[in-house]
Amino acid sequence: MIQFDQLSKGFWLRNHFAPVIDNLTLTLPTGKSLALLGGNGAGKSTLLELIAGTMRPDSGSVWSDGSISWPIGFGGSFNRDLTGAQNTRFLARVYGVDTDELADYVQDFAEIGRHFHMPIRTYSAGMKSRLTFGISMGIPFDTYLVDEVTAVGDRRFRRKSSQVFADRMKTSSAILVSHNLNELREFCDAAILLHQGHLTYFTDLAEAVARHEELMA
């Protein structure tokens, strides 16, 4: 379960305050994998960061009765001056998993070669995404927050990422942002739609997609 209690977040843009989340009070049920829908700039990535706790709200709170990953695909969880291996080992200690096992898993999965032992600041965006996806999949969470990360890499790597993610979904849930509707249908059984600062929960994914497409028309 993830609960929002009078949650608000916005940003100042050219002397104008733009609310992204507007006084949101809502409870998302346990055990549901949710598609997060919304137009470009609606605040989907902001919402994921608020859920993960990597961004502070202006007011209100978010809490959960289970463990939640950081937003997969978001590199802000890393120290840019440490290597991929050092960041991996640090996060292993934070989340209480075996450091050597996680490092071996991530190095094999991410396929970034010698860069695994180089500072994060030398990484391309794709390398960061591969690393954060690998670390997240190597740590058991109750809920995974995923922001388009399975689109990273070539076809073979995307297929591998999707298979690993599917394996995790057998025992966990997710909040997934993706422009690939087939991917949403494969992994999600419900949806949340973010529009003009308001979040609506749909038990039917097809209904949510139809409403999203209507708003975008």
pLDDT tens for 131-145 read: 988 999 999 999 999
Instruction: Give yes or no: residues 175 and 134 share one domain.
Output: no
The first and second tokens of residue 157, run together, are: 């790597």
Q: Decide: 73 and 44 in contact? Cβ < 8 Å.
A: no
Domain membership flag for residue 163:
no
State the residue range of the domain holding 53: 1-67+144-154+169-217
Of residues 202 and 160, more confidence is placed in 202
Domain membership flag for residue 164:
no
The first and second tokens of residue 94, run together, are: 């934070």
Give per-residue pLDDT as tens, 24-51: 999 999 889 999 999 998 999 999 999 9
Give per-residue pLDDT as tens, 59-102: 999 999 999 998 886 555 689 999 999 999 999 999 999 999 99
Q: What's the pLDDT at 181?
A: 86
Q: How many domains does the chain have?
A: 2
Instruction: Give yes or no: residues 97 and 150 share one domain.
Output: no
Q: What's the pLDDT at 213?
A: 93
Pairing outcome for strands 2-13 and 59-64: antiparallel
Domain membership flag for residue 162:
no
The distance from CA 122 to its chain's CA centroid, rounded to whole angstroms, is: 23
